[in-house]
Amino acid sequence: MLFFRWLVLLLLLVSAMSFMFYAGTGQPRFRRFGLIILKWTLIAAFGFFAVLILERVA
4-56 tens-digit pLDDT: 889 989 999 999 999 999 999 999 999 999 999 999 999 998 998 899 999 99
With CA atoms as reference, report the closest residue to 36 among 15, 16, 6. Answer: 15
Q: Is the pLDDT of residue 2 over 90?
A: no
State pTM to two decimals.
0.81
CA separation for the pair 8, 14 (Å, rounded): 10
Predicted pLDDT of residue 6: 92
